[in-house]
Amino acid sequence: MSNRKKVAILNPYVATRGGGEKHMGYLCQFMEEYYNYDVDIDILVYSNEVFDVNSPDFVTIEDLNEQFSLNLKNTKIRKLDLLQYVRNHKEYLENKKALEKVTKEYDLFINFMFLSKHIGKAKKNVYEVMFPPLRYRWELNKTIFHKLFGAFLDELYYRSYDVYISNSKFTNRWQSEYWGESSKNHVVYPPVFSENEIAGRYDESKKKNIIISVGRFFVSAHSKKQLEMVQFFVNNQDVFKDYEYHLCGVVSDDKADQEYLQKVREEAAKVDNVFIHLACSHDELMELYGQAKIFWHGTGYGVDEDKEPEKMEHFGITTVEAMSFGAVPVVINKGGQKETVSEGVNGFRWDTEEECVNNTKKLIEDDNLRKKFAEKSVELANNYSIEKFYDANRRIFDEYKL
């Protein structure tokens, strides 16, 4: 009888190939090594309103390996045959039940789906918390019966997982707020780069007058707010006339996302020093990071953090990537950005357009300050290495006998 480990990792949005997918990819690579390659890992995907998994250009493991410098050998994509267009609650429950049944086939199930409340039915179950979902009983609150039924569903969901791993202290705070303090709650920062990779990344001689932003172009959930960022840049051409603003990211086929990208393009077209790089290669992105003096991030701008915490940047892989290249972060004062960027130490945090522009102006006008922050950014970025990610996961996998 084979003792070969069977692992499923749920991520129906793997085709977006964003920071979360990089995080997931390195988790798969960690597991391959942890189990001495005596493991088969399936990434569970299914078609939805945004992605058709049967499309000939749907993402492959080779794509993930190439984009994120991975070397996945025993990981494959498993396409589930679920309803693509969910029109009502009954169909949602059908899909949920079918997916949960699939998890029974595995020794370990890892839920890597944003705001998912799927029940894990494998021998062991792990929830990777990008941000915690709301309780059923808060959503089903019409009658006392609804509340009781909601509380029952909450219990089924919460008890099904052996451990909850949050991607930041910010996320863990809300996990505890929503679902209670627990010894099952842990924080593991996402992996951003290897320790030997970061050595020599910051090269001042390569720096140009460039501000960079990196992230998907989309309107839902924690939108990256590229439109507002471009407006900041365009509105203040007197400050930024000698700089270029480069935005890198992918966009889905979703109509709303395509329309959003078009709005960003139209705003960018008002000046000649804004450049949009759609689906740029890993090498091109690394080169731009290396050239950029300043990094901008605005997720959560115009949103109340306490009322809609799920719309914040819950960690911010791209911020740390930028820091490792000595691109000084000027980021919003919300969410996980407060953990990676220390105000006045390795960058600036802002709440308003005026603060964003003024803080950026300080770095443009004071090269010594910018260089000092750049060096400190590289130093602090070392806290988010792949090696530290592996070590933290190894401790959890050992402790919970995963």
Are 179 and 220 in a shared domain? no
396, with CB counted inside 10 A (0-12, 13-18, 19+), is middle
Are 175 and 48 in a shared domain? yes
Are 168 and 201 in a shared domain? no
Q: Tens digit of pLDDT for each residue in 384-398? A: 999 999 999 999 999
User: What's the pLDDT at 252?
Assistant: 85
Are 43 and 31 in a shared domain? yes
Q: Tens digit of pLDDT for each residue in 11-22? A: 999 998 888 899
Are 53 and 172 in a shared domain? yes
Phi, psi for 394 (deg, rounded to 5): -60, -40
Give the ranges where 160-293 is alpha helix by DSSP (H): 169-179, 195-198, 226-235, 237-240, 255-268, 282-291
Are 187 and 214 in a shared domain? no
d(CA 82, CA 52): 11
Tell which residue, 358, 364, 338, 357, has the closest CA to residue 228. 357
Are 211 and 325 in a shared domain? yes
Are 362 and 389 in a shared domain? no
Enumerate residue ranges in the chain where pLDDT < 70.
1-2, 221
Tell which residue, 124, 114, 115, has the closest CA to residue 24. 114
Are 257 and 172 in a shared domain? no
User: What's the pLDDT at 11?
Assistant: 96
Tell which residue, 108, 100, 113, 112, has the closest CA to residue 125. 108
Beta partners for residue 137, in sequence order: none
CATH code assigned at 37 = 3.40.50.2000
Are 138 and 230 in a shared domain? no
Are 161 and 217 in a shared domain? no
Are 137 and 261 in a shared domain? no
**Number of folded domains that form the chain:** 2
pTM of the model: 0.86
Provide the domain limits for residue 361.
195-383
